[in-house]
């Protein structure tokens, strides 16, 4: 994938006076779903605002599929951004809001009406489209923001906490929508504080803390890179005691713990790949293995290991 097809940030820093927004961020984000994860004030929103030109970098350069954020006339045919700001131009209905801003894209009245209707239908707000936004619930406001971001069918979607305030059904539908866009080759950059959802939807994650990127890539790759925390593997089997004694003989295994219900064991190893290769040999002599699965190869564990006790952002 060439850089002109990616979102690239080259040594980007942003300071608010003496306060650090983000520092020396270098990224190349390919299409697919990328999640920004980090505690409050870690720089997630600043990074999104930088990508969309709402703030300018103090240093460094940003390109969204080859276009600089300082060229809004080109950028926003390509990019849709649903911000965290829960405010709207006053006095407009949901439909008027979407349609008015679509006119800014140069669409004719008929086209903007059609696109607005389609975007509103996509987020399931058709019935409430003619009501004033001021009367919307938080979830509806979240959805109308999403509709505004997607109405012009952008190839790059930047979504700040897009699942906030959505009920479970709409949440699932929205996640499915993200997946579909990603499968179509679009960029979907989301920030979220719900780590198990990030795990479910993300092709890759970018972990931020204190304005720095502490890790980025596919979850498994990031997890493998964290050497100081051995990988945990959960094995369900019929003879956990026998398997435990064999497993513990391996020099890369740090600890073995039989599960309290006796249904298996939890292994900590410094070399997960080697462990998986050896497991078939270790499990001879009629030990029936039901399942083998990584126990901490997820965003939550990665987050805990890299960012530790800091509170996840809301």
Partner 1 sequence: MNTSQWAQLFAIIRLEIWKTFFSRRSLWIYLFTLAPVLLFTANSIYAPREQARLARIAEKHQVALANLTAITRGMTNSVVLEQLGEPYQQHTWRHPIEGGRVNERGFYRYTDGKSDFTFHFNNGRVRGIERSDPETLPQNFLIFATIFRFYFLRLAVFFGCVGIFTNLFRGEMLDKSLHFYLLTPVRREILLAGKYLAGLLAAMVIFTASAALQWEALLWQFDHQTVADYFADPSSAHLLSYLGVTVLACAAYGSIFLCAGLLFRNPIVPAAIILLWESANLFLPATLQKLGVIYYLQSLCPLAAAPDSNMPVPLTRLISATTPASASMALVVLILFTLGVLVFSGVRSRKLEINYSTD
Contacts with 194 (C-beta within 8 Å, 6 or more apart), sequence order: 163
DSSP state letters, 218-253 = -HHHHHHH-TTS-EEEEEEES-HHHHHHHHHTSTTE
Least distance CB 277 / partner 1 (angstroms): 50
Number of amino acids touching partner 1 (CB under 8 A): 31
Least distance CB 281 / partner 1 (angstroms): 58
Residue 80 half-sphere exposure toward CB, CA atoms < 13 A? 24
Least distance CB 51 / partner 1 (angstroms): 11
Least distance CB 167 / partner 1 (angstroms): 25
Question: What is the spatial distance between Cα 253 and Cα 312, in angstroms, rounded to a whole number?
Answer: 31
**Which residue number, 79 or 119, has a Cβ lying nearer to partner 1?**
79
15 is a contact residue toward partner 1 (CB under 8 A): no
**Which residue number, 99 or 301, has a Cβ lying nearer to partner 1?**
99
Contacts with 51 (C-beta within 8 Å, 6 or more apart), sequence order: 7, 9, 62, 64, 69, 79, 158, 189
Question: What is the spatial distance between Cα 202 and Cα 236, in angstroms, rounded to a whole number?
Answer: 27
The one among 5, 20, 27, 54 contacting partner 1 by CB under 8 A: 54
Kindly indicate which of the ranges 51-59, 209-217, 244-252, 253-261 contains the residues binding partner 1, using the contact rule CB under 8 A: 51-59
Kindly indicate which of the ranges 33-41, 75-83, 239-247, 266-274 contains the residues binding partner 1, using the contact rule CB under 8 A: 75-83
Question: What is the spatial distance between Cα 189 and Cα 20, in angstroms, rounded to a whole number?
Answer: 22
Question: What is the spatial distance between Cα 136 and Cα 95, in angstroms, rounded to a whole number?
Answer: 12
Binding residues for partner 1 restricted to 123-152, rule: CB under 8 A = 148
164 is a contact residue toward partner 1 (CB under 8 A): no
Which residues in this chain contact partner 1 in the complex, by CB under 8 A?
16, 49, 52-56, 70, 72-77, 79-81, 83, 85, 87-91, 100-101, 103-106, 148
């Amino acid at each position: 994938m060439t850089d002109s097809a990616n979102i690239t940030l080259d040594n980007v820093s942003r300071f608010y006076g003496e306060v650090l927004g983000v520092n020396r961020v270098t990224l190349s984000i390919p299409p697919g779903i990328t999640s920004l994860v980090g505690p409050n004030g870690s720089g997630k929103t600043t990074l999104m605002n930088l990508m969309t030109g709402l703030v300018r970098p103090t240093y460094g350069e940003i390109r969204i599929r080859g276009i600089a954020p300082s060229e809004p006339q080109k950028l926003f045919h390509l990019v849709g951004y649903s911000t965290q700001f829960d405010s709207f131009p006053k006095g407009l209905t949901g439909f008027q809001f979407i349609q008015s801003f679509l006119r800014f894209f140069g669409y004719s009245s008929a086209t903007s009406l059609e696109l607005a209707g389609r975007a509103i239908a996509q987020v399931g707000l058709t019935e409430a489209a003619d009501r004033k936004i001021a009367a919307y619930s938080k979830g509806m406001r979240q959805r109308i923001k999403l509709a505004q971001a997607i109405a012009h069918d952008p190839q790059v979607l930047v979504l700040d906490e897009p699942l906030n305030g959505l009920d479970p059904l709409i949440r699932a539908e929205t996640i499915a929508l993200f997946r579909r866009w990603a499968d179509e080759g679009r960029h979907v950059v989301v920030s979220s504080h719900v780590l198990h959802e990030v795990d479910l939807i993300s092709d890759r994650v970018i972990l931020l803390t204190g304005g720095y990127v502490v890790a980025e890539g596919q979850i498994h790759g990031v997890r493998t890179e964290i050497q100081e925390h051995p990988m945990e593997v959960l094995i369900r089997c019929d003879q956990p005691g026998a398997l435990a004694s064999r497993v513990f003989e391996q020099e890369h295994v740090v600890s073995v713990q039989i599960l309290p219900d006796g249904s298996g064991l939890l292994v900590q190893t410094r070399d997960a790949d080697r462990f998986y290769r050896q497991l078939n040999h270790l499990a001879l002599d009629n030990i029936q293995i039901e399942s083998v699965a990584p126990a901490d190869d997820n965003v939550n564990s990665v987050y805990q290991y890299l960012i530790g006790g800091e509170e996840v952002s809301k």
